[in-house]
A and B are shown apart, each in its own frame.
Chain A
């Protein structure tokens, strides 16, 4: 089924997609003429497949549960923001804060993601085939961020328990983010996630793993005079 944003109002398109019963209805939908509109495909709850033909604006696929969304173009700020489950595949580049605060699901970005990718992520798995900008995985709490290219300044600043895997260069690490040993269990997890992103040719051993030094978890009495 085709939904043309030149003919239909965005709210109508989102309401249609939000109220589909996938057991009784068509499972495949195509959105035409997105023209950079914001909040396309937000709040979906059912297991349906959607292809967006073109570039979209902010918060595409926000709060997604179960739906499988493919964007054939670039996405603006906050793609997959607060996603709970399901999958979002961006075939172009992503703007800042991709996957912000997302609790679950899978986000694949074929191009680059700019600053703050995975900010405060809480369980989502993010695979970026290109590079990520500064302050990526800032205050990230759980889940995995995998970057096949490079990472910008202050990667993983004030990090909790997200695992970060970077294949290229890291410009600098943020506070409390350190390089960690890559064990077999990490290699296996990475292999599984790369396979899920159809990147079987990329070798897990070429990545470096980063995580929290856990030094910011507790207040140090020695620092009391700083406050």
Chain B
């Protein structure tokens, strides 16, 4: 099991409430994933700046801040529970190579607008720790995890991000991830865990970097990714869901004129404004649904 949720705002009406809406969705999906939770939220981008979402684990923030200032020229750095968001105008390649060498921390994602937070623990506690209710943004994706094929760690939690402003959450399990991982490593994709979902995220990054759009990428994923899955994926301006052809893993979509909400079960979105007049449907097996671009 696992719970996956996502919201894509079609109008600006709920931008300030995005964190609150997602928070309720994650808490309601506790029954499907009580051991860890995480979310990615897309905010308005600042020109020329890249943001790096870093899990600092057991490091003292002030010390980390002091140490990192000697290595990276940054514009700002904020603490949020055991995560830090560092903004810098330096080239991403340079910043990434520095951050990836630091063994005490894990880089959980980066991009112009994405911020990612994930932690082990009950979803209720995790959203509280990160103060998710206070977040605003344009679209967001979340996950509650019931670990099946790799350990309960921050690295084993979703969302996974393997490219700039990309993220993926997954309910299910892949059966050909070891082969795919070997192939993607040859193509220059880096992996941090033994997790199957990270391989799917890497697969998406690889296709997007080869100039395929999100829809084409997920359509080819239907042929190449073997296993059970419902994926929700986000890019800077895009949002998508796909289920494998067997469609054992559930998903419900609620669409209104203001938003598209997706969740494993309807109970995750029962609290959303106007959901009772929304168009509610189940995404069909093997069909890619996208919003934005």
Contact = CB atoms under 8 A, between A and B. Distances in A.
Contact of A134 (B270, B281, B285): B285
A114 B282 contact: yes
Interface size class of B (residues with CB under 8 A): 10 to 19
Nearest to B31: A38
A36 B285 contact: no
B253 to A, nearest CB: 11
B220 interface: no
Interface in A39-87: 54-55, 57-58, 74, 76-77
Contacts, number: 45
A76 B281 CA distance: 11
Interface string A10-43: 0000000000000000000000000111100000
10 contacts: A36-B266, A36-B267, A36-B269, A57-B266, A57-B267, A95-B252, A96-B250, A114-B247, A114-B284, A134-B247
B280 A57 contact: no
A92 interface: yes
A190 to B, nearest CB: 28
Q: Which of A54, A55, A93, A114 has the most CB of B within 10 A?
A: A55
Contact of B270 (A35, A92, A96): A35
A115 B247 contact: yes
A123 interface: no
Contact of A54 (B271, B276, B284): B276
Contact of B267 (A37, A114, A133, A134): A37
A36 B265 contact: yes
Contact of A95 (B267, B270, B282): B282
Interface of B: 247, 250, 252, 265-271, 276, 280-282, 284-285
A100 to B, nearest CB: 14
Given A96-B247, A115-B285, A35 B280 contact: no
Given A77-B250, A96-B247, A115-B247, A55 B285 contact: no
A113 B293 CA distance: 30
A76 B250 CA distance: 9
Given A77-B250, A115-B285, A93 B270 contact: no
Contact of A57 (B265, B276, B282): B265
A35 B280 CA distance: 13
Contacts of A38: 267
Nearest to A135: B246
Nearest to B278: A55
A76 B270 CA distance: 13
Nearest to A77: B250
Contact of A93 (B271, B276, B280): B280
Contacts of B276: 54-55
B267 A35 contact: yes
A194 to B, nearest CB: 25
A35 B276 CA distance: 10
A109 B269 CA distance: 23
Contacts of A35: 267, 270-271
Contacts of B280: 55, 74, 92-93
Contacts of B266: 36, 55, 57, 74, 76
Contacts of B269: 36
A55 B270 contact: yes
B265 A93 contact: no
Nearest to A53: B276
Contacts of A96: 247, 250
